[in-house]
Amino acid sequence: MEISFWPQAYTSERVSPQASQTDETTSFSKMLQSEWDKSTQISTPPLQLPFLLPMLQQPLFLDEKNTYEEVATLQTKVEEVYGTAEQKVEQSKGTAPTSKAESYGPLIESIAAEFGVDAKLVKAVIQHESNFNERAVSSVGASGLMQLMPSTARALGVKSIFDPAENIRGGVKYLKQMLDRYNGNEALALAAYNAGPGNVDKYGGVPPFKETQNYVPKVLNTYRSYA
């Protein structure tokens, strides 16, 4: 199903002032149901279908009770196949690709041993920072497996931020510095890794930032699950 089909069909019905809202709604709903029925008969449902859902929230489809219920039913069906967007994002952040996690295992263990840091803690940090994606780049420019900021990477001697070995070595070195700074307190070290040691010192503990408040227990829980 081409996604461009729906706006065209929708527009062609909307331009006629004589067309009633009920007729438009019923016609569009029937077309949607027809496409859904087709998609469920093939092995891989069309990826475009979930992107139609925001269109269904337009006032036209909220005015008629019966049609709204039909749309809600269709949305439920789509989410059963694809899952909600929130679930997809959480899964991508919280579940490491087994093959990549395993492939980086020897490198992580070697570098962690070099700095005297528990390899399982390093793996937990990498899982939540980049999900083992060596090309990951955040909205603020943190890059690579351990999501190093360019300035931090330079200070740590990292020349190629996307090189897995250099990135991990720089990240582990920084994590070790934070562990030493906070006398082995893993929660504070992780808070400093996420929000900077200045903020940990300023607030005398894990800073009251939502991201950091969520980050620390998530990484610790993953770390303990490796034990």
Give me the active site residues, please: 129
Sequence-separated (6 or more) residues with CB below 8 Å from residue 67: 25, 26, 29, 61
Q: Are 96 and 132 in contact (CB under 8 A)?
A: yes
Sequence-separated (6 or more) residues with CB below 8 Å from residue 176: 115, 116, 117
Measured in whole angstroms, the distance separating CA 174 from the mean position of its chain's CA atoms is 24
